[in-house]
Amino acid sequence: MTYAESAPSLATGAAGLQKPFNPDPNSPVNTFENPAFAYVAKLSTKSSRVTTARTLARVAKFFGGELASFRWQDLRHAHMQAFRSWVADSFSHATANRWISAVRGVLRMAWRMGLMTIEDLERACDIEKVRGTRLLRGRSVAAEELARLFDATGQDRYRKRAARDAAVLAVLYGGGVRRSAVIALDLDSFVRDEAPFVQVVGKGNKERRVYLPEASAEVLTAWIEVRGRHPGPLFVATRPDGSLLPDRMHLDSVRRIVCKLADRSGVKRVSPHDFRRTYIGDLLDAGADIVTVQALAGHADVTTTARYDRRGERTKARAAQLLNLPERRGR
């Protein structure tokens, strides 16, 4: 079947694509010959692989197929234009471009696997990015709110769980560490030195030192005394009675801890990532240079760090107050 015969119209999606080469998703041949699986497998972290696989499953569904059996190598320029229009209308520009990038990655993998020509690859990928900007989501956590959250850990009836939750907060704010990196920490990731730090593996499987303020180091040290100094996960799960399990804490447990402490302390809704936003903003407010903050946060690009700079927003807010509306006369 030729491309002209199989190409869909932009109005109808991809109903005209060729049939999948292997309709059996359980076939081992399908696993090794599907470029989507090969592309997902090359990603560096488990969370990236899971997220990208979900994205590609939705893309395959848009084109009328299934992730395990879809013929990605049959995508052409018209298909990709239809796909771009859909994601541009359905998602933010950042999400749309991540989805486009994922599909481009699959197509490049299809070329490497000898499933499509370089000409077909270049034509299919020749679509524009979705343009736009968005304000950062989330919010900053005020110092008074942070104090109330730490106080709320002490209200837990179980001493061991209280110590763990306080230590989690100390790393979230004191190091600006993402929650996925928090739960990945082991006991030997924390070094109680003259300049205490945690050894973190961040996005892109990049390892770095995150230096902690002394107050955070003290909270972590107190937790370790409760936890014990045996090797293993730094933050472990707990039973309903507050006793400790040997298992590593689950990713979603960090969110539940933050939500529990916010409810207990009367702090308005806050997420684990809000502490990272606050950490970066507070460092910039305190006068730390942006390149140093970029390194501490583990950002690949300094422009990402600059988006967290709150000083410009306050300047704009003060400038707006310079304007005066004319007095309204009686009607």
Active site residues: 178, 203, 273, 276, 299, 308
3-state SS, one letter per residue, for 190-220: EECCCCCEEEEECHHHCEEEEECCHHHHHHH
Packing angle of the helix pair 272-285, 159-174 (nearest 10 deg): 50
Which has the closest alpha carbon to 202: 326, 56, 47?
47
Burial class from Cβ neighbours inside 10 Å (0-12, 13-18, 19+) for residue 48 reads middle
Residues 6+ apart with CB under 8 A from 46: none
Residues 6+ apart with CB under 8 A from 310: 140, 281, 284, 285
Q: What is the Cα–Cα distance from 45 to 178, expressed in whole angstroms?
A: 14
Q: Are 57 and 102 in contact (CB under 8 A)?
A: no
Q: What is the Cα–Cα distance from 93 to 26, expressed in whole angstroms?
A: 35
